[in-house]
Structure 1
Amino acid sequence: MPLITVTYASQRRSPSLKKDIAETVTALTARILRKDPKVTAVIVRQADAADWFAGGASLAEQGLASYWIDVHVSEGTNTKDEKAAYLAAVFDRMAELIGPLHHETYLHVDEVRGDAYGFGGLTQEHRYVAAKLDVPPQRGAV
């Protein structure tokens, strides 16, 4: 149930680009990090390439694109190898979508504690325990 925020800057324009980015990130997150796409939320924001500076010059001046992706997942649910594969796959696919990428392009997999993270009013820890007990998770239970 990750929450993913994508901020990108690119010279490319397409009516479907934001949707394409959201679908791509969701699919890669499902395939590589094993996260259920039905409970994955993605926020996509575009920044002006003239306002994004890397290496002392704007991306517009350099003719390059970049992104900052922040992915929140429950702590301990992914291995180092999965996270490395995810970073590489996202980088390759985003280059196809938004153009040649500046080397200073970032993705952060933020592992948060299950007792401090959740959706629908329930923590991930609560959902985990309910699954182990084979009972449906309910709000209001501690």
Structure 2
Amino acid sequence: MPLITVSYTTSRQSPSLKADIANAVSELTAKILHKDPKVTAIIVKSVDAGDWFAGGKSLAEQKLASYWIDIHVSEGTNTKDEKAAYLAAMFKRMAEILGPLHPETYLHVDEVKGDAYGFGGLTQERRYIAGKLEVALQAA
């Protein structure tokens, strides 16, 4: 149920570029962070390379691509090793899609409290409790 925002810049153009990015992000999020793609929302936004600066120069000048991925997940649902693997795998996959990446390319796993985060009108904490109650009722 993560909400993921991807901002990117690249000189590569393709009619399917945004879909390719969304598919890669969804796949790696499911595979490494164990998040259900059916309840994963991804926003993909393009930024002009002339508007993206790293190290004091625009990425247009440097002829490099970059991205900023911000993913919100419930606190405590992923280990440090999973998050590290996610960062590494995403950097590799996005380089394949976008081209050579500037080293100042970022991904932020934002862990939020289950009582302050949710979707469909329910917090993640409420979903967790409802699931536990369902299991208890089935066992009774």
Q: Same fold (TM over 0.5)?
A: yes
3-state SS in 2 of match to 1:26: helix
What CA distance in whole angstroms lies between the structure 2 residues aligned with 1:108 and 1:83? Answer: 9
Instruction: Return the offset for 1:112.
Output: 0.3
* Pair 1:97-2:80 in alignment: no
SS where residue 73 of structure 1 aligns? strand
Three-state SS of the structure 2 residue aligned to 1:42 is: strand
Q: Which residue of 2 aligns with 1:28?
A: 28
The amino acid of 2:133's aligned partner reads L
Q: Which SS does the other structure have where 2:24 is aligned?
A: helix
2:112 corresponding residue in structure 1:
112
User: Alignment identity in percent?
Assistant: 78
Distance 1:97 1:49 in 2: 16
Q: Tell me the matched-pair count.
A: 135
**TM-score normalised according to structure 1 size:** 0.94
The Cα of 1:34 is off from its aligned counterpart by 0.2
Counterpart amino acid of 2:46?
Q
Unaligned runs of 5+ in 2: 136-140
CA deviation vs aligned residue, 1:1-23 (integer Å, no higher than 9, x gap): 00000000101110000000001
Secondary structure, counterpart of 2:11 in structure 1: coil
Query: Cα RMSD (Å) of the superposition?
Result: 0.7
Deviation at 1:77, TM superposition (A): 0.1
| 4+ residue runs over 6 A deviation | none
Q: How many Å apart are 1:127 and its aligned residue?
A: 0.3
Structure-2 separation of matches of 1:115 and 1:103? 35
Q: Return the alpha-carbon distance in structure 2 between the equivalents of residues 107 and 77 of structure 1.
A: 17
TM-score under structure 2 length normalisation: 0.95
1:3 matched to which residue of 2? 3
Which whole-Å deviations, capped at 9, do the CAs of 1:107-142 have from their partners, x for residues lacking one? 00000000000000000000001111117xxxxxxx
